[in-house]
Structure 1
């Protein structure tokens, strides 16, 4: 068996390592530094050309208008790059990038090198550009990020059986259906998934071998092995009818998709009014429509449709979009920051959630629809209130959460009300919510202002939470130290039915740290 062990003398010491490991050594430094090793010696001259990961990034602002774009370095180095397998190609081109160049040609080369992770963030001053069609039929691509000046123009033949993560940030779609899911061709795509997984195993082995591809005899042997290993694999292309749009074609061609992140910029007409996400395999969805427009900007014609039965994590952050959500029986965590009214459809679709974060805008959340919705799995809820008048509905709010163990309220940000506003009236519920009498262990309030109805609500929770372990109340940061001290003394004097409970200071509070969705 061939062993490529070499001796390199450095400072009089003999350092032994195998030559196929040399590209791995260069992965520890930035790409530009790795390429610079070509001038070290003949031994290092071509090592960088076998790097499996390449990153090219430049500033995304005009702070240094005279700085040279990374494009020139990217263009020249990619010409000489010869690795047969590419784990990652990340390219970010800023305003300095010339507008008469063709950056997408290198993505076509990456696809030919069976790339696994592809990221392209284009911020140049020209119009959006199309990606090469070969990207949409890349069998090995597992992670794809497209951002800014990119036109999503999906061909009719599309198949991404290995794609598990997709990030679409401020891109433009060719037409209304360029993003979303269609059932057409779904079974055909699913058949490709198992085949792609086999190819993934083969190419991972080949990547390991590819590091030694700088020697011609081994390169030929490697190529022969790959031809034998993949010769039996058949990849049928999916022909989706022309009446299915580009976004539909994109998501419907991803049967293994687990994570989807979408950011839409309201300053840009991205050609999509109804954004549909219908992906059975999806586990995590992040959707954000940029909140930069003033209230007079009309965006009511935009809508969001979600049909993801296996979803575990949902994060919606948008203003002005209507929303339709199908029931998600496996939902674990949801973070909802919306301007529209949370109707019965949305509330029922969230009823299986275990960890809930709400950012209700003004009075869109309260009062709730006149229906009984049991959130029987919910154990932690955090709510951010910008309108203190909504505090009076929090007790009713708790009645839906029978097994709630952690309840957190944040009122640090207040919109459109004077500091002395105290118009809300506390109305004690006719019955104690079950979560207070049987389950609530942690209660925290950040941004407390000492208003009468705030006091009464906190008093009510402390007097009825039999299982309470800790209560943390943090006065609003606008108050002086003396005012905060007076508030805390008043809270300390309130009766707590749970004699073992402890009143925490703001420094001891857990706010926002109880659950981390990265656990998913």
Structure 2
């Protein structure tokens, strides 16, 4: 009878989802933009007021073809009908900024401040705020920077954070800043539990930038200012428990780097414009990364290394993966790096499209090394060469690795855009090269037009920043 009853209900189109507890239904609705969560009220009587029990809200004006006034009225209506007044997560994205070619008036600015103050409370754990509605000062979001329950905070847009009177976020672990301004040291020091910090500057900066934290594990610093902006006199990084570091300096001229060692570092990615000031302090940064297991050098960083006089590299005793990008292949720096990586297992090389903008093809600088790096003979398992152009220096280095890599398992060659005849030509050339490993498998592929165009577009965009 029970089986017959169940089958009968299914045949009648029973709403299985509606039979779930309201708490579980609210959890499902929390993954939707708030507008769609509210629209579920038309499904049935049970769903009519279900959204009023939500504690997670996502308001984004870029996804709605609404006027700013209608968008504001919708948020006010939602927040005024909540059954539980304490919000747990709030994502508020107000990026349209202009309405009918008119400047947003103060009423909209005040509305954003009102929504934020409504969210700040003892249950708030995550807040995402991105606004393009003019410049926002602390008065608009008073309470965020002293919210004792906040665990994750994302701020973006025209937010002015240099006049914050007091910051104390004892539980904050994740902080993302996508701003046109810098953050004072006091802001970071007010977050004693901070573990992940992502900063993307696209506007003016203070003359000095300080990252001082004993709890920080991941630091990503992106800076994309114009060259005519003021020089940054100093960047200081004192984060002894850091595990991941990514630095992208595209436009700023940083004259000094004050840095401590990173004994727990696991991965580092560096893309630092090849200015004389950067060439001077980059070796100091590389020294501090000697314990990392994964190291990624962008082509600008490699240019810095090539230009550095009397380059002294530390021993990367724990390094397992090395990725290095070139504008023009230079085997000298790479050989020096390999000699300092006794346990390297994976080597990746990428020659991007920058040389297409140069007038002359660079001359080969290949010099047969006096000895073979220990990692090549005993640890290197995978060698991937992207944007291979079959230049004389590239061929010499490739032959050198194949002959001396005794435990190499895979060699993967991505040739620059061409034809299948070129692929066959590269394969035939490689097939006759002496190999030190009997188990090495060689693969040659042609970069697709999409892959090549994407790399070239990225190269052009980066060049535009430095020209």
TM over 0.5: yes
Q: Secondary structure at the match of 2:304?
A: coil
Partner of 2:325: 384
Counting only pairs closer than 5 Å after superposition, residues 349-368 of structure 1 correspond to structure 2 as 349-361=288-300, 363-366=303-306
User: Quick one: structure 1 residues 298 and 115, their matched pair in 2 at CA, closer, same or farther if it must change by over 3 Å?
Assistant: closer
Q: Deviations over 1:288-322 (max 9, x none)?
A: 0026x3xx635533542211110111111112343
Using the TM superposition, give the Cα deviation of residue 40 of structure 1 relative to its aligned residue in structure 2, in angstroms. 6.3
CA contact (8 A) 1:68 1:96 kept: no
Contact 1:307–1:326 (CA under 8 A) maintained in structure 2:
yes
Aligned match of 2:121 in 112, 123, 136?
112
- Give the match's secondary structure for 1:407: strand
SS of the equivalent of 2:185 reads: helix
> How has the CA–CA distance of structure 1 residues 80 and 408 changed in structure 2, closer, same or farther, with 3 Å as cutoff?
same
Question: Following superposition of structure 1 onto structure 2, how do residues 138-217 of structure 1 map, counting pairs within 5 Å?
Answer: 138-153=147-162, 155-173=164-182, 179=183
TM-aligned CA deviation for residue 371 of structure 1: 3.0
Segment of structure 1 superposing worse, 280-289 or 468-477 = 468-477
| CA displacement 1:398-447 (0-9 Å, x = unmatched) | 11111111111000322465587141221111111111122111111111
| 1:475 paired residue number | 415
Shift of 1:83: 2.0
Distance 1:453 1:21, change over 3 A: closer
**How far apart, CA to CA, are the structure 1 residues paired with 2:261 and 2:57?**
41
Secondary structure, in 3 states, of the residue corresponding to 1:468?
Answer: coil
How many Å separate the matches in 2 of 1:280 and 1:78? 38
Any unmatched runs of 5+ in structure 1? 1-8, 174-178, 180-246, 512-520
Separation in structure 2 between the aligned mates of residue 60 and residue 364 of structure 1, nearest angstrom: 43
Moved more, 133-142 or 152-161: 152-161
- 1:493 equivalent in alignment to 2:427: no
Cα deviation digits, residues 19-60 of structure 1 (max 9, x gap)? 555533533543113224556677555432220100001228
Indicate the structure with greater helix content: 2
Q: Would the aligned equivalents of 1:325 and 1:346 in 2 still touch at CA under 8 Å? A: yes
Q: How does 1:269-284 map to 2 (within 5 A)?
A: 269-270=204-205, 272-284=206-218
2:186 match = 249
Counterparts of 1:30-69 in structure 2 under 5 Å? 30-38=33-41, 44-59=47-62
- Contact 1:165-1:260 within 8 A present in 2 as well: yes
C-alpha displacement of 1:486: 1.3
Give me the TM-score of the superposition, normalised by structure 1.
0.73
Shift of 1:108: 1.4
| CA distance, structure 2, for counterparts of residue 470 and residue 402 of structure 1 | 19
Per-residue CA deviations over 1:369-414 (Å, capped at 9, x if unaligned) read: 44351110001100011123x2343212211111111111000322
Structure 1 residues 466-516: Cα deviation after superposition (integer angstroms, max 9, x where no partner):
111111122112x333233212211221111112111123389xx9xxxxx
**Structure of higher RCO (CA pairs closer than 8 Å, 6+ residues apart):** 1
For the pair 1:317 / 2:317, whether they are aligned, the reply is no
SS of structure 2 residue aligned to 1:152: coil
Does the CA-based 8 Å contact 1:69-1:94 persist in structure 2?
no
Mean CA deviation greater in 163-172 or 302-311? 302-311
TM normalised by structure 2 equals 0.81
- Alpha carbons 1:145, 1:167 under 8 Å: kept: yes
Q: CA deviation at 1:137?
A: 1.1
* Distance (whole Å) between structure 2 residues aligned to residue 427 and residue 402 of structure 1: 21
Q: Distance in 1 between matches of 2:200 and 2:285?
A: 21
The residue aligned with 1:26 is 29
Q: 1:373 aligns with which of 310, 314, 337?
A: 314
Shift of 1:171: 4.0
Report the Cα offset of residue 327 of structure 1. 0.7
Give the aligned length: 418
Residue 273 of structure 1 deviates from its aligned partner by 2.1
